[in-house]
Amino acid sequence: MLLGDMGAEVIKVEHHVTGDDTRSWGPPFTADGSESAYFLGVNRNKKSVAVDLKRPEGIRVIHELAAKCDILLENFVPGKADELGFGYSTIASVNPKLVYLSLSGYGSTGPRANHLAYDVMVSAVGGLMGITGPKDGEPCKVGVAITDVCCGLVSQSAILAALIARQRDGLGQHIETSLLDTQVACLANVASAFLIGGVVTKPMGTAHQSIVPYQTFACGDSQRIVVGALNNSQFVALCRALELPIAHDERFATNPQRVKHRVELIELLEKTFESHTSHEWVRRLDEQHVPCAPINTVEDVFQDPQVVHNRRVIHVEHPTVGLLKMVAPPATFYGTPYVEPMLPPPRLGEHTEMILRDVLGYTTDRIDLLKETKVVRGL
Same domain? For 50 and 66 the reply is: yes
- The verdict on residue 200 lying in a domain is no
| Extended beta strands in the chain, E state | 11-15, 47-51, 71-74, 99-104, 173-178, 214-218, 224-228, 292-294, 313-318, 322-327, 376-377
Beta bridge partner(s), residue 318: 322
Same domain? For 16 and 79 the reply is: yes
Same domain? For 119 and 15 the reply is: yes
Same domain? For 56 and 174 the reply is: yes
Same domain? For 104 and 180 the reply is: yes
Mean pLDDT computed over 106-128: 97
Rounded alpha-carbon distances, angstroms, from residue 23 to 31, 325, 355: 14, 17, 21
Structure confidence at residue 34 (pLDDT): 85
- The verdict on residue 245 lying in a domain is yes
- The verdict on residue 207 lying in a domain is no
Same domain? For 290 and 310 the reply is: no
Query: In the 8-state DSSP scheme, what is residue 355?
Result: I
**Which amino acid, residue 107?**
G
What rounded mean pLDDT belongs to the chain?
96
Structure confidence at residue 32 (pLDDT): 84
Out of 294, 319, 344, a domain closes at 294
Same domain? For 133 and 265 the reply is: no
Structure confidence at residue 61 (pLDDT): 98
Same domain? For 246 and 339 the reply is: no
- The catalytic position among 70, 148, 249, 304 is 148
Out of 275, 294, 313, a domain closes at 294
Q: How many CB atoms lie within 10 A of CB 125?
A: 18
- The verdict on residue 121 lying in a domain is yes
- The verdict on residue 113 lying in a domain is yes
Give residue-wise pLDDT tens across range 144-192.
Answer: 999 999 999 999 999 999 999 999 999 999 999 999 999 999 999 999 9
Q: Is the pTM of this model over 0.95?
A: no
Give residue-wise pLDDT tens across range 14-55.
Answer: 999 999 999 999 999 988 888 999 999 999 999 999 999 999
Residue 148 designated active-site: yes
Are 175 and 158 in contact by the 8 Å Cβ rule? The answer is yes
Give residue-wise pLDDT tens across range 48-74.
Answer: 999 999 999 999 999 999 999 999 999
pLDDT at 339 over 90: no
Give residue-wise pLDDT tens across range 185-214.
Answer: 999 999 999 999 999 999 999 999 999 999
Quote the domain boundaries for residue 65: 1-188+301-373
pLDDT at 293 over 80: yes
pLDDT at 333 over 90: no
pLDDT at 109 over 90: yes
What percent of the chain lies above the pLDDT cut of 70?
Answer: 99
Out of 278, 294, 310, a domain closes at 294
Same domain? For 21 and 123 the reply is: yes
Structure confidence at residue 340 (pLDDT): 66
Rounded alpha-carbon distances, angstroms, from residue 274 to 229, 237, 271, 303: 19, 19, 5, 26
Query: pLDDT category, 341, cuts 50, 70, 90?
Result: low
- The verdict on residue 198 lying in a domain is no
Mean pLDDT computed over 85-102: 97
CATH classification of the domain holding 115: 3.40.50.10540
pLDDT at 364 over 90: yes
Same domain? For 20 and 140 the reply is: yes
- The verdict on residue 364 lying in a domain is yes
Question: Strands 99-104, 292-294: parallel, antiparallel or unpaired by DSSP?
Answer: unpaired
- The verdict on residue 312 lying in a domain is yes
* C-alpha to C-alpha distance for 18 and 104, rounded to whole angstroms: 21
Number of domains in the chain: 2
Query: pLDDT category, 379, cuts 50, 70, 90?
Result: confident
Same domain? For 331 and 280 the reply is: no
Q: In what order do the strands lie in the sheet with 71-74?
A: 71-74, 99-104, 173-178
* C-alpha to C-alpha distance for 57 and 362, rounded to whole angstroms: 13
Same domain? For 230 and 161 the reply is: no
